[in-house]
């Protein structure tokens, strides 16, 4: 029997539990074959936790997340909880998990699957084969910097202000993640900031350049964030790994993900610091989409974003890049066969349910594992 990995499952609200059920099926299937040992523990987050516990995540749940090897999160929120107090809104649960686990590096892949190439708003020849990974700093920068606020000036006019701050260590740790990830890919990092007009950008560039001395096998380039926004539309395939701060990362990762054209296909990972003694790193994996209350409970949800998030979990937290590759390939093969949930339905394809999509991925995974044996 392989080592057992503990995964904390926080399925959340809306389509979260439906999509996560498909991950559960895949995990159980892998377990039953002895490909890996996975112990899944389930708990509540978001609206489901508000209903049961009065808060969007309990301290006990956070403690269990810290004990686990990785956390898988579905989605939170929905109209049912729109009226709750701002501090205990469903999204606050998600933010608390990210904060308490100090998940400072947000990874957003933007991959264009051949079968879905027409879903992109860009021409197929521009996005064919696209595979970018955006690493966004998640816990610092202008979203958290002090001082911040809205003040009234002596002349009665109001002034809103926020502060962009980054320390050397905050920049180093996220850049370190980007270099390490690039090593497992095409060995190219593009670091984005606005060093031409912002001191924090100037420091960002200096620190990344200095750190690069320890990663000279990786090709490093620097790009102003506004140019990066243009290049993502002009020639996105020039990029491999992009590392950037919280604000620019927020915008650039949304732009890059839309090159792929489909919200139901986008996974993400958020990583924390590695414990130097145990080598363990807190991590949470979640689809980019929300709880989609408009289609919840109807078997229409596309589970692939959650399944691909599980693939990232296998690769980055469980050190099973071999299984991650196969799972990603299985998802791609299923699309190539023309099987589609309603959100990505196209001409000459067969529409299937959330659960059928999970089954189809398992069938294909079985084929791939058999072929490799």
Q: Where on the chain is the footprint of ligand NAD (CB under 6 A)? A: 15, 75-78, 91, 94, 263-264, 289-295, 301-302, 305, 343
Which residue, 82 or 206, is less far from ligand NAD as judged by CB? 82
What's the rounded Cα separation, in Å, for the pair 49 and 57? 6
Q: Where are the alpha helices (DSSP H) in 194-352?
A: 199-212, 225-234, 246-258, 304-316, 321-336
Contacts of 95 (CB under 8 A, 6+ apart): none
Q: From the candidates 51, 226, 294, 363, which is the catalytic residue?
A: 226
What's the rounded Cα separation, in Å, for the pair 342 and 130? 24
Kindly list the strands in the beta sheet with 267-274, ordered across the sheet, starting from the edge strand earlier in the chain. 37-43, 4-12, 70-75, 281-287, 267-274, 105-111, 131-137, 241-244, 188-193, 219-224
> How far apart are CB 251 and ligand NAD at their closest, in Å?
16
- Give yes or no for a contact between 36 and 310, defined as CB atoms under 8 angstroms apart: no
Which residue, 223 or 266, is less far from ligand NAD as judged by CB? 266
C-alpha closest to that of 87 among 57, 52, 64, 62: 57
C-alpha closest to that of 61 among 88, 43, 74, 46: 43
Q: From the candidates 96, 194, 300, 326, which is the catalytic residue?
A: 194
Is-catalytic flag, 343?
no
Is-catalytic flag, 254?
yes
> How far apart are CB 273 and ligand NAD at their closest, in Å?
22
Q: From the candidates 180, 250, 325, 356, which is the catalytic residue?
A: 250
Residue with CB nearest ligand NAD?
Answer: 290
Which residue, 23 or 207, is less far from ligand NAD as judged by CB? 23
What's the rounded Cα separation, in Å, for the pair 373 and 368? 9
> How far apart are CB 303 and ligand NAD at their closest, in Å?
7
> How far apart are CB 33 and ligand NAD at their closest, in Å?
27
Q: From the candidates 143, 180, 187, 359, which is the catalytic residue?
A: 143
Which residue, 54 or 297, is less far from ligand NAD as judged by CB? 297
> How far apart are CB 342 and ligand NAD at their closest, in Å?
7
What's the rounded Cα separation, in Å, for the pair 345 and 230? 30
Which residue, 26 or 175, is less far from ligand NAD as judged by CB? 26
Q: Report the catalytic residues.
A: 143, 194, 226, 250, 254
């Amino acid at each position: 029997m392989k080592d057992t990995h503990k995964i904390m499952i926080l399925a959340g609200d809306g389509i979260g539990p439906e999509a996560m059920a498909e991950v559960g099926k895949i995990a159980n299937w892998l377990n039953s074959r002895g490909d890996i040992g996975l112990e899944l523990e389930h708990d509540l987050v978001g609206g489901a936790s508000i209903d049961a516990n009065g808060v969007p995540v309990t301290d006990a749940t956070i403690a269990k997340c810290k004990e686990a090897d990785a956390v898988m999160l579905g989605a939170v929120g929905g109209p049912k909880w729109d009226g709750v107090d701002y501090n205990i809104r469903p999204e606050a649960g998600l933010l608390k998990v990210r904060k308490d686990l100090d998940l400072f590096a947000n990874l957003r892949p933007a991959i264009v699957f051949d079968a879905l190439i027409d879903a992109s708003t860009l021409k197929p020849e521009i996005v064919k084969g696209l595979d970018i990974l955006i690493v966004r700093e998640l816990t610092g920068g202008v979203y958290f910097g002090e001082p911040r606020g809205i003040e009234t000036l002596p002349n009665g006019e109001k002034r809103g202000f926020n502060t962009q701050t980054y320390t050397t260590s905050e920049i180093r740790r996220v850049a370190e993640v980007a270099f390490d990830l690039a090593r497992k890919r095409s060995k190219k990092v593009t670091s984005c900031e606005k060093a031409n007009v912002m001191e924090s950008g100037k420091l960002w560039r200096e620190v990344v350049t200095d750190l690069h001395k320890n990663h000279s096998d990786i090709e490093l380039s620097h790009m102003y964030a506004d140019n990066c926004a243009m290049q993502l539309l002009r020639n996105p395939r020039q990029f491999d790994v992009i590392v950037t701060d919280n604000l620019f990362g927020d915008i650039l990762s949304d732009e890059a993900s839309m090159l792929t054209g489909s919200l139901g296909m986008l996974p993400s990972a958020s990583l924390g610091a590695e414990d130097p003694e145990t080598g363990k790193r807190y991590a949470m994996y979640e689809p980019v989409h929300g709880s989609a209350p408009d289609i919840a409970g109807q078997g229409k949800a596309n589970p692939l974003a959650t399944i691909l998030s599980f693939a990232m979990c296998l690769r980055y937290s469980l050190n099973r890049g071999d299984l991650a590759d196969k799972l990603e390939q299985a998802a791609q093969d299923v699309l190539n066969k023309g099987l589609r949930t309603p959100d990505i339905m196209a001409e000459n394809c067969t529409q299937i349910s959330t659960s059928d999509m999970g089954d189809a991925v398992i069938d294909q995974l079985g084929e791939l594992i058999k072929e490799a044996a």
